[in-house]
Chains A and B, each alone.
Chain A
């Protein structure tokens, strides 16, 4: 079916066989979705569940999210795994500031999401108080299935080409975030 059509830009026509027709940003979104480089900011007991989700029983690498990067400059997703104290908050903020665009943030576990049961003088009541957060994974700790579900949610979001919450916040558009 369909022979060569000459011009590349005509809408509504089926693309020629063997040609993948999509916009460049869709292509980038697709590529980003399947090569999530992660920076694990791991502070507490949730780390054990993070290791469990990473390792071969649950195998996060099936989702292209295989490689932890130990430099924020090389990472796409910041995993905040565990309780964040007020003393630690400046460090987390700085790590997030150092990551290159586009970047996403996952709150892993109840403590990172809302402070958990540490409703006290020491603990930041959720990382979204200081950095925008794209996916919240509840649980104390979350099961690996929940972690993978969170990762897939994030991948859907990346694949849609949505601007990250960080970009929306920078554009003064945070209320639209879904």
Chain B
């Protein structure tokens, strides 16, 4: 199954796999961003892996961790029927990850969404701008430190609009 793919990558790039684990048969490898493009290209082009289908790209914010973000990529092979998850740690200070849009065209909009919500910039992306939010929006709302009650309206509220109700109180954790 996918374990064979992980072994394949480890054999080919012994120094590019920072760690790997599986959860109920779903294999994950953690790859430094400097090596991401060659690893993904290898996964796509090697017959034993044949990851021809780009499933998903998203991001996770780990506040307090260094590096703070994980870019998470899911790939699937139609001929082999197996999957793999690739995680790429990205630090907050230099929040850049190489773009996969040159390898999988489908990655284009996923990377724009990750940029829109988390502010991770994708190096080499053909058209990196916000995809869901409007251009006037400031900040990245799915970062854990984005204020929960922060609003960025495009239309100014009417002067006689009813008052905003108080937000729900914070629950103790």
Contact = CB atoms under 8 A, between A and B. Distances in A.
Interface in B133-168: 133-134, 141, 146, 148, 150-155, 157-158, 160-162, 164-165, 167-168
B84 to A, nearest CB: 32
A73 B28 CA distance: 57
Interface stretch (A37-45, A48-56, A122-130, A147-155): A122-130
Contacts, number: 50
A135 interface: no
Contact of B154 (A86, A114, A132, A175): A86
Contact of A86 (B153, B160, B161, B164): B153
A127 B97 CA distance: 39
B160 A169 contact: yes
Contact of A121 (B146, B164, B165): B146
B173 to A, nearest CB: 18
A114 B150 CA distance: 16
Contacts of A122: 133, 141
B158 A124 contact: no
If over half of B's interface residues share one DSSP class (helix, strand or loop), that class is named, otherwise mixed; here it is loop
A174 interface: yes
A57 interface: no
A119 B155 contact: no
B146 A89 contact: no
A130 B134 contact: no
Contacts of B161: 128-130
A86 B151 contact: yes
A90 interface: yes
A114 to B, nearest CB: 8
Given A87-B133, A89-B153, A121-B146, A126 B158 contact: no
Interface residues on B, range: 20 to 34
If over half of A's interface residues share one DSSP class (helix, strand or loop), that class is named, otherwise mixed; here it is loop
Interface string A76-93: 000000000011011001
Given A89-B153, A89-B154, A126 B146 contact: no
Nearest to B156: A130
A131 interface: yes
Interface in A120-176: 120-122, 124-126, 128-132, 169, 174-175
B121 to A, nearest CB: 20
Nearest to A130: B155
A93 B162 contact: no
A151 B152 CA distance: 33
Given A121-B150, A129-B161, 7 more contacts: A86-B155, A87-B133, A93-B155, A128-B162, A132-B158, A174-B160, A175-B160
20 contacts: A86-B134, A87-B133, A89-B153, A89-B155, A90-B154, A90-B155, A120-B148, A121-B141, A121-B150, A121-B151, A121-B152, A122-B133, A122-B141, A125-B151, A128-B158, A130-B161, A131-B158, A132-B158, A174-B160, A175-B160
Interface of B: 133-134, 141, 146, 148, 150-155, 157-158, 160-162, 164-165, 167-168
